[in-house]
Amino acid sequence: MMRVHIKSATKKCTLVAATLIVTAGNSLAATAPAIFNGLIAATCILTAGVTGVLTPNSTYSTLSSRNALGVSSVVSVVSTGLIGSPFGVSAIAPSSFSSGPADGNTSTTFTSTYSVTGGATASNVAGATVTPVGVGATVMTVDLDATKSSGNFSAGAYSAIVTVRCE
């Protein structure tokens, strides 16, 4: 123990510096918690990538992304998911063209299919069927068929929207 003597004109004091003994040695260690918190919200993010292209079959009775020169639409899916309760994706076909010639929707039925790779793997799934996707990135390839039950498609520009869901 160290003693410090201080002299003044009126008093003589002795200060005992006990803390020097504690800090000079490691015999008494102190601990404190370092707390960490984190939160991952359950989210599913859809990002449209490639726009699909519908082309006619040889009789002009079907417009499809699966016909020659057709192009599938591609959607990126990023899911944080929940263990035991993952998000699922689907691709709902439209009931009509969003734009096109006046007779475009007459006698026309729409069907969609999709395939997924990455967080899940499935091929040629019927559009309304929900497929669970795992945590991380999934690539979803969507196809659309518009088929006339009678007649054929007139010349003109056609547009249709498949609704991709992650729920």
Residue type for 10, please? T
Q: Which pTM was predicted?
A: 0.77
Q: What is the pLDDT of residues 39-77, one digit of tens each?
A: 888 889 999 999 999 999 999 999 999 999 999 999 999
Lowest mean pLDDT among 34-43, 53-62, 86-95: 34-43
- pLDDT for 8 equals 45
- pLDDT for 108 equals 98
Q: Which residues fall within 8 angstroms of residue 110, CB to CB, at 6 or more apart? A: 93, 94, 95, 96, 144, 145, 146, 147, 160
User: What's the DSSP call for residue 153?
Assistant: P
Q: What is the pLDDT of residues 14-28, one digit of tens each?
A: 444 444 444 555 568
Q: Residue 15: enclosing H or E segment and its boundaries?
A: strand 12-16
Residue 28, both tokens: 């008494």
Q: Which of 62, 80, 54, 68 is nearest to 135 (CA)?
A: 80
Domain boundaries, the chain: 44-166
